[in-house]
């Protein structure tokens, strides 16, 4: 790739030299047209470099998404972990509910269950972005189309 870019840079340098030579031969009355033509070529060169970099970055992002999907980090791949966390929190909710009712009656029970629901919701990722976490993105079919 680097050799190709150097060749294009050399080509652009030749274009600049040709433009300057043409300006010397044709005079100042053609200067604007010559400069505009050269700037169009520079713009095309920049566009091709930017397009190539954007395509490369998109390909890298698609590779990262594909690796995450295969590596078990996708939104549906951790169902067992979330289910296990929910079961453990429900088992622990029994003694927490008893302690809350004994000490604070109904308001204590509501606060305890609010905490249990909140912890489970944060773990599931529903409110994670509100607290600085990253929301799990789901793969859409259009993400894989060219």
Residue 41 lies in a domain: yes
Q: Of 70, 95, 112, which one is at a domain's C-terminal end?
A: 70
| Closest to 116 in 3D by CA, of 76, 74, 71, 86 | 86
CA distances from 2 to 6, 16, 28, 40, 64 (A): 6, 21, 37, 23, 25
Contact 19, 37 (CB under 8 A): yes
Considering the domain architecture, whether residues 52 and 83 belong to the same structural domain is answered as no
Structure confidence at residue 121 (pLDDT)? 84
CA-closest candidate to residue 86, choices 41, 117, 128: 117
pLDDT tens digits along 78-105: 777 878 888 888 899 999 999 999 999 9
**In this predicted model, what pLDDT tens digit does every residue of 107-131 receive, in sequence order?**
999 999 999 988 888 887 755 555 5
**Whether pTM exceeds 0.85:** no
| 71-81 burial: b if 16+ Cβ within 10 Å, else e | eeeeeeebeee
> Is 83 in the same domain as 66?
no
The three-state secondary structure class of 137 is coil
The last residue of one of the domains, among 38, 70, 102, is 70
33 and 65 fall within a common domain: yes
Structurally, how many domains does the chain consist of?
2
Summarize pLDDT for 1-49 with one digit per residue, the tens. Answer: 577 777 878 888 898 899 888 888 888 888 888 888 889 988 988 888 8
Q: Are residues 20 and 58 in the same domain?
A: yes
Domain extent at residue 61? 2-70
Do 10 and 32 have their domain in common? yes
The DSSP annotation for 23-56 comes to HHHH-GGGHHHHHHHHHHHHHHHHHHHHHHHHHH
Q: Select from 70, 94, 115 the last residue of a domain.
A: 70
Which tokens is 55 given? 């395509």
């Amino acid at each position: 790739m680097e050799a190709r870019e150097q060749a294009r840079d050399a080509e652009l340098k030749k274009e600049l030299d040709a433009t300057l030579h043409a300006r010397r031969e044709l005079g100042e009355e053609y200067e604007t047209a010559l400069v505009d033509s050269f700037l169009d070529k520079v713009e095309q060169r920049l566009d091709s470099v930017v397009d190539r970099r954007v395509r490369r970055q998109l390909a890298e992002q698609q590779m990262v998404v594909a690796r995450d999907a295969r590596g078990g980090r996708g939104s549906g791949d951790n169902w067992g972990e979330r289910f296990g966390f929910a079961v453990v929190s429900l088992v622990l909710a029994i003694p927490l509910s008893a302690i809350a009712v004994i000490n604070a009656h109904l308001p204590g029970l509501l606060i305890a269950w609010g905490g249990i629901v909140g912890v489970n919701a944060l773990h599931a990722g529903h409110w994670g972005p509100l607290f600085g976490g990253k929301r799990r993105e789901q793969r859409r079919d259009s993400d894989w189309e060219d």
